[in-house]
Every structure is written in structure tokens, then in C-alpha cells.
Amino acid sequence: RQPAAGPAGESAVEALARVWGYDAFRGQQAEIIDTLVAGRDALVLMPTGGGKSLCYQVPSLLRPGTGVVISPLIALMHDQVDALEQVGVRAAYLNSSQGPDERRDVERRLLAGELDLLYLAPERLPAAAGLLDRCQIALFAIDEAHCVSAWGHDFRPDYLRLSVLHERWPGVPRIALTATATVETRREIAERLQLQDAAAFVSSFDRPNIQYRISPKQDARNQLLRLIREEHPGEAGIVYCLSRASVEKTAEWLSSQGVPALPYHAGLDAGTRAAHQSRFLRSDGVVMVATIAFGMGIDKPDVRFVAHLDLPKSIEGYYQETGRAGRDGQPSTAWLAYGLQDVVQQRRMIAEGEGDQQRKRAQTLHLDAMLALCETVECRRQQLLAYFGEPSEPCGNCDTCLSPPEAFDGTVPAQKLMSTIVRLQRERGQAFGAGHLVDILLGRENDRVRRSRHHELSTWGIGTELGEQEWRGVVRQLLAQGLVQVQGEYGVLALTEAGGEVLRGRRPVRLRREAPRREQERARRG
Ligand code: ADP
Ligand code: ZN
């Protein structure tokens, strides 16, 4: 095996070819590498699959000493070190999964200058600091740098201590990398890691080969099955569900329908998880049904679709998860089914969850941005990129571009729903969830209606101009727009202050027309 550190004076592109067998850098890789080789700091925002790893691996080979990579995910470290060793790079890691002998061996190799790269879990940094003092460090790479963001979705308290790198080893260049790129996160990373003077490299977050589609949830499993059978038969995909139980049930059901599907969530034992992951990676056409515990660092280029059966909590999460599709650049689908229950459930989870008011406000902002993406009548990609601060034109490759939804004046239906809510509350002191309200609007007699004499309400049966699905769409959109809110644990609905304005005729409501058949038509057109 050849030593990875090449001849003195080897250029970056020569190292790339010799070690990895690639003939050119992608995007901004070359400039980023030059910055580090010259001893300057860099802040890199690049989408998943953009090629972040080479940005610190190559300069670690070109600079004297060992490149130290701070990485939050132990499983990922292991894979990275394996992959590096396969191409002859001398790499190792230090983390809590190791026994003392193994750890001592890594330390010995580090001190002997026998390592090109050392992966370090952030919580091990204090213990390893003395060791690092005694060796030559080529650079520090801080992977998943958005973990410093206290209000982000992946906060790791240990990341806050990483400012010590700059203080203790001021001459060592640092590179912080992330695929999460809101302006706010970027500012937080620069501030907390003291990287205000670093050269910033912001790649486009556009993934033009991914077709974004968000559909009203009707019969989510069958909608999913249609997607797989009609558009991605025999192809690899990931299906995200919120709960472990729904992961299990969905995987079982897909299997019973002849789709090779495997479950993956944190409740499965490590052996099963590893076996399922490796089957997904190695064989063709396996569908992984997973919670969001699955996917970080998974490098499978030919994932043809990512489906969400539940609403992601934030656009960052949605973008990261959908970004696992199509890393080979081939056409791929990001599909999300989203319904009234999702909004109710997520609002409730925030209200009842842990955390102070500030945290809840941040979570609500994240959810609202995600809901706005779901309900938009504009180009999804344009809205997604705008969220990351990137202006763009309508894309032509998302559902709203391909079959533009109709927006309509929904003020009257909104008022009908709202006055039903208000009447129940004022006249009867009662509150109900969406299902019962829709029954009243549609004038549907059932036991509950008769028992509570709701057929005597003045709003009984005043909503027959819309069907049940459409009404559920109206409720969902009013929830998304913050005109109606969920109260208490039973999902009962109440007006918000802004909703009161609508009811009093002081504020119009724009809604997106639900088009249940569109999705099938599109699939048939191919
Ligand atoms: P990220 O960490 O940004 O998600 P990776 O570093 O894992 O991305 O790279 C994604 C894939 O692209 C990997 O398979 C990697 O080998 C490949 N890759 C990265 N840079 C290049 C390049 N310059 N030429 C060819 N392949 C590349
Ligand atoms: Zn579009």
C-alpha cells in the first residue's frame, strides 16, 4: 500500500488523481483547498453530496502534520476512516466506542506522525487537548458546524467549546462545514466559532435533478405505493415516518405489497440496524422506511426517491432529508404527503414539548416556514432556495411549476368554518376538532350530531359547496396560516386574533384549491 502523503510539492489536483482517482475538483473545492493550504480559515456551506469531505481531506495531505476532524457522529467516523484507508490514506478516530488499547494505539500513531487524518468526537476534545499539543496539526475541520446553533435542530452543547481550537492553536487553519445554510445559522457559526474573518464559500443549494412534490394526504400509504409502482419500480428510495411504530407498519405493509422494504429506527438493536443499512447500500431497489435517525452520512448515489409520510419539523430537515435523493445527478423525486393531522400534531407537540418560550417560538417559526412551503402556490424550489437566502427563477421541475395550483378567495368558506367554531363556543360552551366541524358544515347526520343537537345550529349544512377533502384542506390551510389554532390535548379548534379579523370581514383569505386527481394525472403523464 502506498503512503498517502505524496511527494513534496505535489499539487492538490495531483493528490486528487493519485489518491482518489478523480480528475477534477467540483464547484468551489479547489478554491477552498487553496485557502487552507495557504493557512487561512474557511467557512463552507455546501449541500449534501456537494463534496465537503475532500475540502479538508486533500489539504490534510498537502500540509505537514495531521488533519484533525471534529465530527459528531460516531457511526459516520467509522465509515469515513474505512473509506480513507481503502484509498491508502492513514486515518483513525478517537471516540467513546473504543477500548483503552485501541485508543492508545491511535495516540501512538498520532504522536509518531503516522496519521494523515484523525477524526475526533467533540466531547473527546478536552481529554485529547494535551495530546494534540504534542503533535503537528495540519488543520482543524469542524464538520456539521451547524451543531453550534442552539436553536437549530441538531444542537450539540460540546460544539460550543470548539472556540478553544482558535485560542489554544491559533496558528492552525480551521474549516467549518455544513449543509445547513440559513443566514441565521451562518451568522451563528461564524460568531460562536470565531470565524468572522474566515473566507466564506457558499455553494448554490439547488439540486436541479430533484423534483419536489407536496401532496395533500388522503390515503398516504396507497399514494406512496402508486409513486413507487408508477414512477420508481425496482428503485432505491427512503421513506421517512415520524414514529417508530409507523416505520414498522409501513415497512411491513410495503413488503406485503411486493416492495422490498426494511425498517430503520433507533429502537431496533444495533445488529439489525447495521444489517438493514448494509442491505440498503449494497443491493438495488431496496426501500428503507426510517425515522430521521437514518441517513446522516449515508452515501448512496442512486437513491431515486425520498418520501415523507409525515411533515418534517423544519425546512432545514426537509432539505437535508430530500437531499439524500439523486446524489448521482440523475432525475429523482422528493415527495411529501401532508395533511390536517400533521399540522394539528406538530402544533400540539410544540405546545406540550419541553423548553422555554424562546425555544417554542423558534420551533413555531421553523414549522410555519415548512407549512408555508407546503401551502405555496408558487414554485417550491424557488421558495426553498429563498429560505436559504438564494434568489432564483421558477424551476419548471416541481409540482407547482408542472401543474400550477389554483388560488381562490377562501374568505367565505373560512368565515363559515369560523362562525361554526364561535357559535359552538358561545351558544353551547363547546369546542370540537376538525372532523366534527366538517360534519356540521356538510350537514351530515350522525350519532354525535344528533346527541348534541348540532343539526339545530344555524351553520348546519351551510358548506355543501365543498366536499369533505376540500373542507379538510381549508381547515389545514387556516391552521397553517395561523387563523385557526389547536387548543388542548384533543385537537379542538379555536380562532386566533387574526382569525377574528377574517370573521369580522376585515381580512381576506387566499387558499390553494385542492386537486386530488392531479397527482395521478401527473404520474400517468410521466
Ligand atoms: P458531502 O459531505 O458534502 O455530503 P461527500 O464529501 O460525501 O459530500 O461527497 C459526495 C460524493 O461525491 C462522494 O461519493 C465523493 O467521493 C464524490 N466527490 C466529491 N468530490 C468529487 C470530485 N471532485 N470528483 C468526483 N467525485 C467527487
Ligand atoms: Zn418549480
ipTM of the complex: 0.98
Q: Which residues contact 77 (CB under 8 A, 6 or more apart)?
A: 71, 93, 95, 119, 121
Ligand 2 centre from 386 Cα, in Å? Answer: 12
pLDDT of residue 253: 98
Weakest-pLDDT range from 116-120, 181-185, 187-191, 267-271: 181-185
Best mutation site among 25, 26, 77, 89 for ligand 1 pocket (most ligand atoms within 8 Å of CB):
26
Q: Which one, of 355, 482, 448, 459, lies nearest residue 412 by Cα?
A: 459
pLDDT of residue 524: 42
pLDDT top residue among 228 and 449? 228
Question: pLDDT tens across 479-508, in order?
Answer: 888 899 888 667 789 999 999 999 999 999
- How far apart CA 181 and CA 202 sit, in angstroms, is 8
- How far apart CA 367 and CA 347 sit, in angstroms, is 8
Mean pLDDT value across residues 147-155: 78
- How far apart CA 405 and CA 196 sit, in angstroms, is 43
Ligand 1 centre from 351 Cα, in Å? Answer: 40
3-state secondary structure 92-150: EEECCCCCHHHHHHHHHHHHCCCCCEEEECHHHHHHHHHHHHCCCEEEEEECCHHHHCC
Ligand 1 lined by 500 (C-beta under 6 Å): no
pLDDT of residue 489: 64
Mean pLDDT value across residues 281-297: 89
Q: Which residues contact 217 (CB under 8 A, 6 or more apart)?
A: 223, 337, 338, 339, 341, 342
pLDDT of residue 170: 94
The pTM of the full predicted model, rounded to 2 decimals, is: 0.77
How does residue 516 score in pLDDT terms, banded at 50, 70 and 90? low
- How far apart CA 387 and CA 67 sit, in angstroms, is 33
Mean pLDDT value across residues 166-188: 89
Ligand 1 lined by 297 (C-beta under 6 Å): no
Residues in the chain, total: 526
**Does position 518 have pLDDT exceeding 70, yes or no?**
no
Q: Which one, of 254, 247, 189, 265, lies nearest residue 226 by Cα?
A: 254
Question: pLDDT tens across 383-426, in order?
Answer: 999 888 888 999 999 999 999 988 899 999 999 999 999 999 99
Q: Cell triple for residue 66?
A: 495531521
